[in-house]
């Protein structure tokens, strides 16, 4: 049994090392994946049913079929663009944003202002 838990822990650590996405990464995505990510970035977290509904509201020439949506979501999760909680029709998807490093600029500005 320890092997199963070790594998799961390694998968979690690998996803954390992947670090999520930046806005510049979106330009490299194929159009179908970019469509989904644009939807996701507006809400950060969506249920599968909400994604299906949003897809149905798109113009007909921009819609993804349910099968294409499922394949695209699976690929985005595998590539650590999205985090999937739960499964099947009850799944919830969250955007995996990168942590931003703190700015050293802000501290320097306040020190300069205080010294004057």
Identify whether the C-beta of residue 37 lies closer than 8 Å to the C-beta of residue 26: yes
Q: What is the mean pLDDT of residues 82-89?
A: 88
pLDDT(105) > 60:
no
Q: Which of 37, 36, 29 has the alpha carbon at shortest distance from 52? A: 36
79 DSSP assignment: T
Phi, psi of 44 (to 5 degrees): 70, -35
Q: What is the mean pLDDT of residues 13-27?
A: 62
pLDDT > 70: what percent of the chain?
A: 65
Which has more confidence, 6 or 15? 6
CATH architecture of the domain covering 20-115: Orthogonal Bundle (1.10)
What secondary structure does DSSP assign to 25-58, as a single string?
HHTTS-HHHHHHHHHHHHHSEEEHHHHHHHHHTS
User: Is it the case that residue 68 has pLDDT exceeding 90?
Assistant: yes
Structure confidence at residue 26 (pLDDT)? 79
Average pLDDT (88-95) is: 90
In sequence order, the 6+-apart residues with CB closer than 8 A to the CB of 24 are none
Q: What is the pTM of this model?
A: 0.65
3-class DSSP assignment, residue 85? strand
d(CA 75, CA 66): 14
- Tell me the sheet residues that pair with 47: 92
């Amino acid at each position: 049994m320890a092997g199963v838990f070790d594998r799961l822990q390694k998968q979690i650590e690998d996803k954390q090392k992947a670090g999520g996405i930046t806005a510049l990464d979106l330009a490299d995505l194929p159009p179908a994946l970019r469509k989904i990510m644009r939807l996701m970035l507006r809400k950060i977290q969506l249920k599968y049913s909400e994604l299906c509904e949003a897809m149905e509201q798109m113009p007909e020439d921009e819609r993804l079929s349910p099968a294409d949506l499922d394949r695209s979501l699976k690929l985005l999760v595998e590539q650590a663009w999205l985090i999937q909680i739960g499964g099947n029709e009850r799944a919830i998807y969250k955007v995996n944003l990168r942590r931003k490093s703190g700015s050293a600029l802000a501290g320097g500005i306040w020190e300069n202002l205080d010294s004057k």
